[in-house]
A and B are shown apart, each in its own frame.
Chain A
């Protein structure tokens, strides 16, 4: 077994270029997948690379380092548009998992129920991928390609999540529905980011998770809500309109039909919560 824990990104990329290996960060997905006491196969541990865990305010974007832990996200000094992401961070497992699990790990694991994905979708997040060949950026939805599938190449790693400044405007919220309070995989979850001017929505981003193989943005619905008041927008978000955008499954956590309806209801509540932070507590 090889275990490598380089201090620099360059070193890590070199190692990746030489031989395929599994990338280990928070461990919250790799360890549950085995009953053994240690991981097998070549392991590249990227948690000693300081630059990967940093949050940076860059000119055009917010740069969230790949190995930022969810607790780092919760504590980060970020604009209100990230409140939804912070709420999602607080719903990842429980505090232990938030202290260990990383932002990029959540994306690379590509679960349909990844808590981080819907809020990042509302922020138009881009995923930065690096290899010795160079750096590329993919929109989040081009990065996650299916259930447990991503566009990550074997010689690549995720180095950051980038949120364009233009999308980091307004306010946001997040709601997760599960059968228990902590340590729960959602039945459905929604994220909303919006900007209001003169009581009218001038910007709306809606996303739903756990109701399709990959969480979805709802661009068609977003268009219909622009210019409306929050309440009018909620009226337009009727169950059928939302359901048409989704492809939920029946499983142990809930029926497909229920998921669609719950998603619509959560979306209306989340929209109100984003518009009026006071609403948040009542919605939860």
Chain B
């Protein structure tokens, strides 16, 4: 590790002595330097993470004299003579009980908040060794987590006092054929709980140039540069200033190639607030201290539209000449005769819903480094899609793909936004132009301003049912504000019409989704691609329809749920359909919860209890587009099974799950495996971590690769398919019907990769394109789920208190129950945010204290019920889960609020003032 030289002699006014993790250190740095920056830059203790530099996220929590503090808010000078403990100080005698408990409970997902959580918990445990959940919650209230939903973290803290009882699932790692279905602890867990996992901001290449990005302060503005050369000449240490004119390749990238339209550095005009227009690179300390306000640029603000409604108007400024009416694209699905069926329906309900921009708010802002390795440009950064990063970065920089190598770091949360390029072409350009390494870490504000969001939606729908309560028809129209550039707008427009029926038989159906450009932030992928917004409307209408039909809300859903062999709105016949099983699993909790709510409400008072539920279905993988995954696995001469695991693990668990699948297909225990990550130089493309596709698509490729390698081994040893395999040092042992064959691996020939045996398999889901009416096979596999929430509404304040979730999800085959629960809890937490508190307003909520995501006190207990209705296509019958878990949450909450109070929420988030207004509109206030 190379330490950055302190900035200027004037900052060296003093030396500060402190004790860090039991060691006396003396630091020469500015005494007002944030302790977090000192720990990371000067002392190389990168386990302390930085998420906001404002005390809003707690990622940098360390102990100072035993008390938890945000290191980003403490000047080095105040640490003089004091004892600082960081995550690196926790495992000096092996993993601490707390760290082990985190692993055991699956409390770390992406791992970016884990060090802060561990430190906050350590402060508590030093005073209260066996804390109650309430004490744990209060102690951890200042550390935000976006992945886990907090419950497993709280459990881990409360449980840390128990002696470690060995690793749960240890046996499943040692015994061949027992990995799938076991609660294997995440294979990449230990570095996450020791703080040694390397994220995008955790490397400081020697002599790397610092980079700052000049961004548009306006939603829409023409601009011209002044005397850039003259300006930079006055700034010693500034090496280079780059603008759109310096981009050597195609200055238009995008995740869907035919729609690629986003410049890496915009030429005039800038189309949204936060758009990058210039880069300044130079000596790191100079760049950090640079006042970008002095940059010679003249802005001329232009009329801007921020909502889809405004953008559709004839007089609205047009974002892109080739897209008249600001219409990026529209998706459409039609089946039967929806108009006639709605007209003939015995019962008809109608409704509309409006949602806002939602920020991904991963705790790790974008960060990365770049350098030249010979004539190859190497970019090391967090990502969800290394292969896509490579092709787009190469195109922008005018390089052949082979000359760009993407090395994914650990990714501190993604949820869809890290599918798109962010800083890759920017640092790449600096390195390409200067030949020097470059390093860029986005500030929280920069991350929030410039990266994608969930699409704001305005949806309207009608639902018809017959006299018996069978849904006969649905018509839904939706406008999605896709912001300034295309990103995943087309996917949202196409996915929504396919899914808007929910997992229900809807013989007559029409749905239209439009992606409309505005000067708002770019809307991209966010866990569910528009389907969560559509489900809010569809599932709340289902509650109204159930009521209209005089049916119990759950029974109404059971009546209409898809069965095996049913045909969807796109005309696809589906099998392995588990929605009914999910609904049935909730029957008992549902009736108990309803009875309990009645009991509670009988007492009267301002608190009213409600119960709500909602379903989801979600197609795994790209919509009607090829999206193959390739997996390579080899047997190394040293006796390890090496898995080239390119399905980037952004916390969801693919490193573990894909290995589990491959292990069982190959017939070797997990403990024999060594994992290689998604480095594009060594690992084949396993596609993007998106669309809930990795367990299914990459899992299937891993199953096929494992089976192919197994077949090779069996053939080589001439044993039958029932042979048991094991790797023992440098030899492969095959036991077949009592006879044992032993192959000395070191004596066998090796392939170009150095493997003795290897297999590589690709899998691409069998889908078809959709015709003009949206008919076809958009997805090969769907997952299903139902969530129920019990909550209390304070009828005088409009405040909602969540009491409990019960979530039944059909995973087809549960590959790893511990990780599956983690996905469900995390999805619910994000759904809670969507429902109750999150709305991104450009220019207003560009930080984590105005933009609220749920804290440890906002996510209630979650009871997960895992259903296994095998899918005919998925590996071992498995289906995807990642996005499914978020979809039902918000509508379930709205349904429960309505059940409690009669209040119908039509604009999200359901902030207290909106809930109170709705309660009053419903006439149910007390």
Q: Report which A residues bind B (CB closer than 8 A).
A: 1-3, 5, 24, 26-28, 31-32, 35-39, 43, 45, 47, 71, 93-97, 99-100, 177, 179-185, 187, 252-255, 257-259, 261-262, 265-266
Contact = CB atoms under 8 A, between A and B. Distances in A.
Interface string B32-59: 1110010001000000000001111010
Contacts of A183: 56, 58, 141-142, 144, 849, 855
Given A38-B11, A71-B67, A97-B70, A180 B912 contact: no
A31 B857 contact: no
A200 to B, nearest CB: 26
A3 B30 contact: yes
Interface string B99-125: 000000000000000000000100100
Nearest to B853: A180
B91 interface: no
A253 B70 CA distance: 25
B573 interface: no
Contacts of A3: 13-14, 30-32, 75, 77
A95 B856 CA distance: 13
Contacts of A71: 67
B913 interface: yes
Given A31-B55, A181-B858, A100 B70 contact: yes
Given A183-B144, A262-B912, A32 B53 contact: yes
Given A97-B55, A265-B797, A180 B32 contact: no
15 contacts: A3-B14, A5-B77, A36-B288, A45-B31, A94-B141, A94-B855, A95-B68, A95-B139, A179-B836, A180-B852, A180-B857, A182-B141, A183-B58, A253-B911, A254-B913
Nearest to B40: A37
Contacts of A261: 916
Contacts of B92: none
A181 B54 contact: no
Interface string B135-150: 0001101111000000
Chain B binding surface SS class: loop
A93 B30 CA distance: 27
Given A179-B911, A187-B912, A45 B797 contact: no
B17 interface: no
A56 to B, nearest CB: 23
Contact of B845 (A35, A252, A259, A266): A252
A49 B504 CA distance: 69
A95 B141 contact: yes
Q: Which of A37, A96, A177, A259 has the most CB of B within 10 A?
A: A96
Given A179-B911, A180-B855, A255-B913, A32 B30 contact: no
B839 interface: yes
B855 A1 contact: no
A179 B68 contact: no
B69 A99 contact: yes
Contacts of A265: 796-797
Contact of B799 (A5, A94, A177, A184): A177
A270 B10 CA distance: 53
B502 interface: no
B844 interface: yes
Given A95-B68, A180-B858, 11 more contacts: A27-B74, A28-B73, A32-B56, A36-B288, A45-B78, A71-B67, A96-B73, A177-B912, A179-B852, A258-B798, A262-B916
A255 B139 CA distance: 31
Contact of A94 (B53, B58, B288, B844): B58
A50 B271 CA distance: 54
Interface in B829-858: 836-837, 839, 841, 844-845, 847, 849-850, 852-858
B72 interface: yes
Contact of B141 (A27, A99, A181, A262): A181
A179 B32 contact: no
Interface of B: 10-11, 13-14, 30-34, 37, 41, 53-56, 58, 61, 67-70, 72-75, 77-78, 80, 120, 123, 138-139, 141-144, 288-289, 443, 445, 796-799, 836-837, 839, 841, 844-845, 847, 849-850, 852-858, 909, 911-913, 916-917
B917 to A, nearest CB: 8
Contacts, number: 167
Nearest to B838: A179
Nearest to A47: B78
A37 B288 contact: yes
Contacts of B77: 3, 5, 45
A1 B289 CA distance: 12
A32 B852 contact: no
Nearest to B10: A1
A93 B142 contact: yes
B14 A31 contact: no
Contacts of B913: 187, 254-255, 257-259, 262
Choose among B33, B855, B913 the residue with the greatest number of A CB atoms under 10 Å from its CB. B913
A36 B75 contact: no
Nearest to B848: A183
Contacts of B68: 95-96, 99
A187 B14 CA distance: 43
Contact of B912 (A31, A36, A179, A182): A179
A254 B839 CA distance: 13
Which interface residue of B30, B37, B849 has the most chain A CB atoms within 10 A? B30
Contacts of A28: 55, 70, 73
B34 A37 contact: yes
A282 B397 CA distance: 61
The 7 closest A-B pairs by CB, nearest first: A94-B142, A181-B857, A182-B141, A258-B913, A32-B54, A39-B32, A37-B37
Nearest to A3: B31
A253 B845 CA distance: 11
Contacts of B797: 177, 262, 265-266
Nearest to A266: B797
A27 B75 contact: yes
Contacts of B70: 28, 96-97, 100
A95 B849 CA distance: 16
A182 B75 contact: no
Given A180-B852, A183-B144, A262-B797, A99 B67 contact: yes
Given A95-B139, A96-B61, A182-B141, A258 B912 contact: yes
Contacts of B852: 179-180, 184
Given A31-B73, A177-B797, A187-B912, A252 B839 contact: yes
A239 B67 CA distance: 42
A185 B14 contact: no
Nearest to B11: A1
B30 A252 contact: no
Contacts of B141: 94-95, 181-183
A68 B171 CA distance: 53
B857 A182 contact: yes
A32 B55 CA distance: 7
Contacts of A184: 852, 855
Nearest to A71: B67
Nearest to A34: B53
Taking each of A37, A39, A179, A180, which has the highest tally of chain B beta carbons within 10 Å of its own beta carbon? A37
B142 A97 contact: yes
A179 B797 CA distance: 11
A180 B857 CA distance: 8
Given A45-B77, A181-B855, A181-B858, A252 B58 contact: no
A35 to B, nearest CB: 5
- Among A45, A47, A183, chain B packs the most CB atoms within 10 A around the CB of A183
A3 to B, nearest CB: 4
A31 B67 contact: no
Contacts of B34: 31, 37-38
A26 B254 CA distance: 44
Contact of A96 (B14, B120, B839): B120
A95 B56 contact: no
Contact of B75 (A2, A35, A39, A262): A39
B32 A43 contact: yes
